[in-house]
Chain A
Amino acid sequence: GAVVSQHPSWVICKSGTSVKIECRSLDFQATTMFWYRQFPKQSLMLMATSNEGSKATYEQGVEKDKFLINHASLTLSTLTVTSAHPEDSSFYICSATLEYEQYFGPGTRLTVT
C-alpha cells in the first residue's frame, strides 16, 4: 500500500529557533500533500495544501510567513516552523493524495521550550 513518512518523528527546540519537518511519499508520486496540526485530544486542523511546483494554499488563520511550505518534488513536501514559540507545540501530520485516497504520515511531535 501507499506509505507516507515524516521526519523527524519528534523534535524539541528552543523558542525563537526554526524547525523543518519533512513529508515523503515513499512508493508513489503525490502532486498534492496536506499539512495538519493536532492539539492534544482534539481533531486534525488543516493548515495548508501543498502543491508540487506552486505556492501552498493556506487555511484561514494560518500564518504563511510562520509556517513555510515547500513542495520541491512529487515525493517531498517540507513544513518549516519559523521562530517557534511554545504555543506552536503540537502534533504535525502530513498526508499525500493518491487518486481518491489520502494517506497519512505518522506525525511529528514538536515541543518548543
Chain B
Amino acid sequence: GEDVEQSLFLSVREGDSSVINCTYTDSSSTYLYWYKQEPGAGLQLLTYIFSNMDMKQDQRLTVLLNKKDKHLSLRIADTQTGDSAIYFCAERTPSGSSASKIIFGSGTRLSIRP
C-alpha cells in the first residue's frame, strides 16, 4: 500500500540549514512533492522531483531523492522566520486502473529559534 512518513517536529536556529526527511513505500511513485502550509492557509507547492532524478535545486531549496531507500529530503538553506510552517512530503502514484493520486505524509512542523 501507499504510505508516506515524516517526523512531526523540527527546530532550527535562524540562519542555519533545515533538513526535513521523508520516507515512502510505493516504489512506483512517479513524482515526489514538497508542500508548505502556513497556519490557517492552503497548501503551497514548493518543489517537486521526478522519480528518475537524484537531486533538484531551486534557490534555497535542495531536494535529494534516494530511490533505493525510498527516502526524500528537503534542505532549506539560511532558514528564516518566514520559513516557519508545516512541510508536507507527498508522492504521486502512477496511473493504472484508477486515476493517479497524491498521498501526503503527516507533515513536519518547522519552528525557527533566534
A65 within 8 A of B: no
Whether the pair B106, A100 counts as a contact (CB closer than 8 A) is no
For the side of the interface on A, what is the size category? 20 to 34
A101–B50 Cα distance when bound, in Å, is 11
A44–B31 Cα distance when bound, in Å, is 18
A103–B45 Cα distance when bound, in Å, is 7
B104 within 8 A of A: yes
Number of B positions contacting A (CB below 8 A): 22
Least Cβ–Cβ distance between A58 and chain B, in angstroms? 11
Contacts A102-B33, A104-B35 hold; do A93 and B102 have CB atoms under 8 A apart? no
Residues 19-55 of B, flagged 1 when their CB comes within 8 A of A and 0 if not, give: 0000000000011010100000111110010100000
A-contacting residues, B84-114, CB 8 Å = 88, 92, 98-99, 101-107
Find the B residue at minimum CB distance from A59.
Answer: B101
A107–B44 Cα distance when bound, in Å, is 12
Whether the pair A46, B42 counts as a contact (CB closer than 8 A) is no
Chain A interface residues toward B at CB < 8 A = 6, 32, 34, 36, 42-46, 49, 51, 57, 93, 95, 100-107
Chain B interface residues toward A at CB < 8 A = 30-31, 33, 35, 41-45, 48, 50, 88, 92, 98-99, 101-107
Ranked nearest first, the 8 interchain pairs of A and B with the lowest CB-CB distance are A106-B42, A104-B43, A107-B42, A43-B106, A44-B104, A49-B99, A43-B104, A104-B42
